[in-house]
Chains A and B, each alone.
Chain A
């Protein structure tokens, strides 16, 4: 006689609490960060983002290493090595542009290309929620890209400071805030245009290329216009969106900016221009996604 038994594998359907918009937005943000960094995907997907992050961190690690080795001989401090944290932005700004130009398409385009927007539409998120979450993941990534190396440098040098880590960090806290504020400027200057391009482009490579080529091109046009005698040419620097990031950085760190000085524009206008750009991009992208979400 044969016998048989059906085993209970312990599977249970979901009966847990259902989250609202905030839960869904958190999940979309987290997914965006993982996707941009290639987490959970093949090594090839991680190569560029992780390589760029390492390249951005490298100067900080090297400088801390130099300080560690030579500190006792030369009594080095952060300012001796770098001048100001603002200088570090000069080192990594191009890397940040490359990073966000690649990250934005990786986050935005597969949702449309693979028709997955319909999945979001049947979850408790509106088009605005989706865009805030996706844009949020890009902003977090870019802030981390810009701020983390500076933190490594500041904390590393503070740890070597004779006054002790805590005391050195307290005295550097103003610098940390300025680094953070300047980074937000770069998010507006690089991240917002990259987000706009990735919201419309159909292919990831094309979107990255458009951002990498388009932003410097726009800067060049703005520069040429500002040198001309055309009416309103003094406002032309505000069209160079990518250079606005550097202008905001200079404003935050109290440095002068040659382009804005020549045009007779106060540096706060760069921040104001970036806010205007961000609002326009948000409206355009929302209108585009409301058709599908």
Chain B
């Protein structure tokens, strides 16, 4: 749930970032970012070098902000390590001991947090990431995707309330990727706070409805992906319309003031409009007048990719 009109903030925040900046010498990695994270999945989005990993590292207490503050469960994570009883972090780097097996590594990760980790919980964590078959082989024999899933299992084993993942799907094959996405969605539905950083837009699009987008260290956009697109009023929407009489439909649509251009496609049209609803409202009448059959009416650019491209352009 967002606070007031600022979609970067949530009311039930477990992690709060307030006016945070981080610079390394002359380079500003993160600049005056304010946002918060609560139950559900939030995608932390941005191109490589946008400052996502630096922000995550500050959230996890791995580095202190040059300015501003970060709190987790209301505490400074650098001064109160006890907050990590209920937190897990999956870093982008390998971060596994190659000489251990996945089972040994997950068991050890569990022992760092709890005295009562049962073999059943270790097995469950490995099973959740589909690593049971290879669990007793040394990690040095694993592919990148398997190491990635081992890290996720180690993070899940103590059932943390907050899970922060930096590029967690790197190297995983499409099938395992889909199952990890399902797993994260289930955890989010169960009330866990999940923050997933990624530069792969399709990944975040499948995972999260709420995004925090960073460009050049700054907060470029925040909130629901569709709402962000709606806020981009200065660039036209693109709508795909499939019909059996594309030329006639195109001619009728061009009479609308809100339509700024039309591309003819093999089986339909791509319409650029500044007001999506005006096209949607008028289309049934055009179809009726022309006796046209409309088989598809779909906004085609409301993807994160297009939002993201826009944000990068707008911020440079």
Contact = CB atoms under 8 A, between A and B. Distances in A.
Nearest to A111: B97
Contacts of A80: none
Interface in B99-117: 99-100, 104, 108-117
Interface string B34-59: 00000000000000000000000000
Contact of A12 (B94, B100, B124): B124
A118 B86 contact: no
B145 interface: no
Contacts of A19: 85, 113-115
Nearest to A118: B91
A3 B306 CA distance: 47
B93 interface: yes
B88 A122 contact: yes
A266 interface: no
Contacts of B83: 124
Interface string B115-157: 1111011011101000000000000000000000000001111
Secondary structure of the A contact surface, majority rule: loop
A293 B100 CA distance: 22
Interface residues of A, number: 39
B95 A11 contact: no
A119 B158 CA distance: 13
B95 A18 contact: no
B129 to A, nearest CB: 13
Given A12-B121, A14-B157, A18-B158, A123 B95 contact: no
B60 interface: yes
B81 A114 contact: no
A19 B118 CA distance: 14
Given A14-B159, A114-B97, A124 B82 contact: yes
A28 B2 CA distance: 40
B7 interface: no
B98 interface: yes
B264 interface: no
B84 A17 contact: no
A124 B81 contact: yes
Contacts of B159: 13-15
Given A11-B120, A11-B123, A114 B115 contact: no
B113 A11 contact: no
Interface in A105-129: 110, 114-116, 118-126, 129
Nearest to B139: A114
B235 interface: no
B87 interface: yes
Contacts of B112: 23-24, 27-28, 119-120, 123-125
Contacts of B100: 40
Interface residues of B, number: 47
Contacts of B81: 21, 123-126, 129
B114 A12 contact: no
Which among A15, A115, A119, A129 has the highest number of chain B CB atoms within 10 Å?
Answer: A119
B308 interface: no
Given A14-B159, A21-B82, A116-B97, A122 B60 contact: yes
Nearest to B109: A119
Interface in A1-58: 9-21, 23-24, 27-28, 30-31, 40-41, 45
Given A15-B159, A16-B114, A20-B85, A118 B62 contact: yes
Contacts of B115: 16-17, 19, 23
B223 interface: no
Contacts of B86: 18
B85 to A, nearest CB: 4
B96 interface: yes
A292 interface: yes
A116 B99 CA distance: 12
A76 B198 CA distance: 74
Contacts of B237: none
Contacts of B89: 118-119, 121-122
B61 interface: yes
Given A31-B108, A124-B81, A118 B93 contact: yes
B120 A124 contact: no
B177 to A, nearest CB: 22
Contacts of A11: 120-121, 123-124, 127
A293 B78 CA distance: 9
Nearest to B108: A31
B165 to A, nearest CB: 11
Contact of A124 (B85, B95, B123, B157): B85
A114 B62 contact: no
A61 B112 CA distance: 38
B124 A41 contact: no
Given A12-B120, A15-B159, 4 more contacts: A14-B116, A14-B158, A30-B111, A129-B81
Interface of B: 60-63, 81-89, 91, 93-100, 104, 108-118, 120-121, 123-125, 127, 154-159, 164
14 contacts: A13-B125, A14-B117, A14-B159, A18-B86, A19-B85, A23-B112, A31-B108, A114-B94, A114-B97, A114-B98, A115-B94, A119-B89, A123-B112, A124-B84
The 9 closest A-B pairs by CB, nearest first: A16-B116, A122-B89, A11-B124, A115-B93, A27-B111, A118-B91, A18-B85, A14-B121, A123-B112
